[in-house]
Structure 1
């Protein structure tokens, strides 16, 4: 399944979830109505002095349209309000989930070798797949498990247990992380966190029932024979238990039905990403051989069990409630030659990690020759095939992309790489990227920035800025991607001040360049300040917006009107409408408005626009850096994570 089909499939799964929710709510209304009718029947029997019995006729006589309507309103109110409450709790995205499970965000400049290793794997995976580098949380449990959580890729986090990073080799960690990135790329993560909110409303009925049932222990039952309250209490207690069990049953059934098949797909994607079935396969074998398996002790583990890499909670009497397929089945699918025994060689303590994770104590998939081969492509000319290859790799990065990502990280000077991991210096790096090559303009920018920037950040800019200005142009976007986790840790007030400083730098000369616009949009898109709304528009609804974007893209790589027209003609061959040249191509505000509308394209309409963009930039036979940057940033804005563009030299 390709990326765009997977996104559409995830949208349809959301509607299936709504149908299942409606059925569950109807079932709860029926159960609750019957329970209340039994209670009313018992109460009426006690008040009239007649012998109390649970006859079918008596129960039906207690039912009425008013009773059923009242129960329906009450159940719907609890489900809706409970879901909205949980949605508000999880509004922080993946961070809220990780913290609810007791996770601690790993310091980006940690000196712990195991933590440094997992950060390196996540950074490489993110840059190779074209996604925003997520924050990484460690859960201090000895079991082997992990999860990805968030509403969007730009607020996703990777959570991982201490047992995972301590017991798995680098290639096994790559398999686990690739599995979690599959959930991010294919829309599962968003579906899973919606599922938590939806099911909380259903489960809340059971929780309320349990609370009421426990409160009845403190009620005294009188000895009056005409007082039938004891039977009523028992009836209500039993009814509440039934309602509570029904809510839990339907909630878990929905969660399990949605989750199991997605785990098989994520396992297959992990093998496809890494080209190494033994990475994820051996990680699963180690779960089977580990004393604590993949079970988590966190109090809220059951609520988030469908997010985990492995079965996070122990099952009861049936596998119907399992959120994950059987471990043996998962292993046999990725490693058909597995002998069926949970016997693995546990790694020794990792003592020979280098500072940047390019070497693992056991070798694994960290091939130096791949990294060395890719390093030469950092300055290579991108050909016409590069854009098409990148589109085909959306959601499906290859081993070449991982080698390129590793080489890119290694090509960054160590001082700059370290600076990207700290909030103060990360801001200084972004400011340095926005500085003009022209001395007079740069002096204007620095003068404007000095008036409002934090003194420590400004000093860091003056210290590291010259080194950033000397970077190869191909390293600019990867540097921004590495800095994103540090920038996401800024408070709301700090983020607003950071945005103000960027705007002051951009507007210092009264002109917004294409690179300045591109960098600004990339940061806004990944720092959670943009909301695309519903993806419901067709490409035919957005002809003016497509025309403006493609005109800007054509002008970014061509020097004369004839070449711009040729680029537009090439793009037009992929579109259902004609294109024409427009005036004021340099109007970045108009481009921003156009992009806002383009963000709302339906998933299956996005690849058509990307193909048109690829035709536009590749028609001359080679792709310039400005074209490549805008191409990838637009893919990011469209929520289509595009891997790095590769040359044909590999």
Structure 2
């Protein structure tokens, strides 16, 4: 099984914790240094007792800690609102899903292919009106990320090169890099605040007090102004040293993750010439410099360094190309860069593992291997971009009837598609509800019924994923009205089936999390949530199996999860509210435990008589509930 996505998400959170420790150490060092400077300045007038007076260090700790903490938290809150905020800081304009511009449409098609292939919610795409060749990904988690590109990147690169760049950015989304980037930006802003305060004291406050105090032998103004000026100079210097080390830490982390993202892009596309060609064009023909005031602060978010600074957050382009060439790139001007400067430079970056272990022999004492069915393969593909899945997604998108392909990018058409999925056709009470509450979508509700009926249940859910960007444009209030109508449509037949629950989970992950201000903390342990896990496995057994098979299916899932086998909970207790409450709590599991739960869900859903179309829908729905990206279409 692919453990890379799950372990990398947990690793990203641990790395964030280490960053916090380094940040605290840096702030404490700044405080101690500032206290020492103040004590030295005051010892001349107050004597050596100033070194033992607790008031001074407490005052320094409170003032400096307050300034750094407030600035860091404000910046973190700003960056945690979603990738849209960062895109707007860089001057990006959102590309509308309905665009007819050929270059914009090609870019959106690439993003849609990769999202359907990977299960990552289709991110809003932002365009920066800049002729340089660059791109970025930003957002606190995969469900709230965005991708941005410059106009030069969109128009000057070939489709293969653009796909390589986008794949590189998807790797950052998969592996938690965008979260780390936001945290380091906030940390450095907090440390920088100390230096800025010192500069203001040195450059403005001290000289102003010294000049405006008038003359007179007994006037203390000049002395006070001089003291503030000297103190400001010291604070400025101490803050600058702290920022220096902060930038070094940021650069070291960022450079390594850029190499890994390059390797992952090659792995995802099986086309090293794509990303190598893009880098070669930046090196030989075009600039990567983005003309934005925020580019310096956010340089580590970009595909290629937007600035040439001492604290380079990206490896040299020649070095990146050399490593990609070692993976097989030969075109786009990359071949001549294959002359390694050293043996180490020629070694390829090791791509992140995505091989599936699900079909391998079980480890000693562990559960037996699961059969290689699509539902099982999905868990192994979590957080990856397999070239075969990208090709399949592209073929599926090309095969969509024109009326569906057009409607899914329009807000009213997207609503109509969701109503149709929930009502399973135009018969029954759902039609009357839609005509009454959403007449604009009712038109699509009728005209798309036949085309949608030709799609499998899994493909219908993929269409709902594709509709997410259009639904986001409704805004919070418009989307709330839509969800209220959709809930009525779902209840119109007095039951909620697997397809409807899957649609609800898809919308929660792909749309509603865009409106959320924060993410669930992924630190829960499975041993503390065994009861909730049993509810999920029992609900799957109840939904997917005949009465005679439920006990064995439930037991199979428990064994796979490694929890004690117990009788299946009574059917009356397995309500929709109980299931939703269980998955809501389980969404706080650490990612490696989410992987185990997904495996157990797949094991519970499997049928002895061969693959069933609902098996994949089950795993896909639980993955959405747990915020784990799995391919929207079944692996083949």
TM-score range, shorter chain: 0.7 to 0.9
Equivalence for 1:326: 316
Equivalence for 1:54: none
Query: Is 1:389–2:377 an aligned residue pair?
Result: yes
Contact 1:110/1:116 (<8 A) preserved: yes
> What are the within-5 Å matches in structure 2 for residues 161-240 of structure 1?
161-216=150-205, 218-219=208-209, 221=211, 227-229=222-224, 231-240=226-235
Task: Let me know the Cα RMSD of the aligned residues.
Answer: 2.8
- Between the aligned partners of 2:253 and 2:509, the Cα distance in structure 1 is 29
Equivalence for 2:537: 550
CA shift for structure 1 position 259? 1.6
Query: Is 1:562–2:575 an aligned residue pair?
Result: no
With over 3 angstroms needed to count, the CA separation of the structure-2 counterparts of 1:388 and 1:337, relative to structure 1, is closer
Contact 1:145/1:308 (<8 A) preserved: yes
Equivalence for 1:369: none
Normalising by structure 1, report the TM-score: 0.84
Query: Is 1:524–2:508 an aligned residue pair?
Result: yes
Secondary structure of the 1:158 match is strand
CA shift for structure 1 position 105? 0.4
CA shift for structure 1 position 338? 8.8
CA shift for structure 1 position 228? 3.2
Q: Deviations over 1:524-561 (max 9, x none)?
A: 12221676632233223222222222222234333x22
Contact 1:431/1:502 (<8 A) preserved: yes
Q: Deviations over 1:90-144 (max 9, x none)?
A: 3430000000110000111212222111111111111111111101001111222
Query: Is 1:281–2:303 an aligned residue pair?
Result: no
With over 3 angstroms needed to count, the CA separation of the structure-2 counterparts of 1:63 and 1:532, relative to structure 1, is same
- Between the aligned partners of 1:498 and 1:230, the Cα distance in structure 2 is 62
CA shift for structure 1 position 87? 2.6
Equivalence for 1:16: 18
- Between the aligned partners of 2:228 and 2:61, the Cα distance in structure 1 is 22
Equivalence for 2:591: 603
Equivalence for 1:348: none
- Between the aligned partners of 1:471 and 1:646, the Cα distance in structure 2 is 13
Q: Deviations over 1:216-270 (max 9, x none)?
A: 4545535667753564354134224313423432332232233221111111111
Contact 1:183/1:266 (<8 A) preserved: yes
CA shift for structure 1 position 20? 0.8
> Which residue of 23, 26, 31 maps to 1:29?
31
Unaligned 5+ segments in structure 2 are 336-369
CA shift for structure 1 position 184? 0.9
Contact 1:556/1:627 (<8 A) preserved: no
Query: Is 1:296–2:290 an aligned residue pair?
Result: yes
Question: Aligned residue pairs: how many?
Answer: 589
CA shift for structure 1 position 78? 0.9
Equivalence for 1:451: 436
Equivalence for 1:368: none
Contact 1:448/1:505 (<8 A) preserved: yes
- Between the aligned partners of 2:571 and 2:152, the Cα distance in structure 1 is 57
Secondary structure of the 2:315 match is coil
- Between the aligned partners of 2:476 and 2:635, the Cα distance in structure 1 is 40
Query: Is 1:80–2:69 an aligned residue pair?
Result: yes
Q: Deviations over 1:511-531 (max 9, x none)?
A: 222211221122112221676
Secondary structure of the 1:428 match is helix
Equivalence for 1:574: 560
Contact 1:426/1:483 (<8 A) preserved: yes
Contact 2:5/2:382 (<8 A) preserved: yes
Normalising by structure 2, report the TM-score: 0.86
Equivalence for 2:301: 307
- Between the aligned partners of 1:550 and 1:458, the Cα distance in structure 2 is 37
- Between the aligned partners of 1:331 and 1:98, the Cα distance in structure 2 is 27
Greater alpha carbon shift after TM alignment, 228-237 vs 106-115: 228-237
> What are the within-5 Å matches in structure 2 for residues 80-479 of structure 1?
80-216=69-205, 218-219=208-209, 221=211, 227-229=222-224, 231-292=226-287, 294-315=288-309, 318=310, 321-336=311-326, 343=333, 384-437=372-425, 442-453=427-438, 455-479=439-463
Secondary structure of the 1:137 match is strand
Secondary structure of the 1:159 match is strand
With over 3 angstroms needed to count, the CA separation of the structure-2 counterparts of 1:328 and 1:475, relative to structure 1, is same
Secondary structure of the 2:314 match is coil
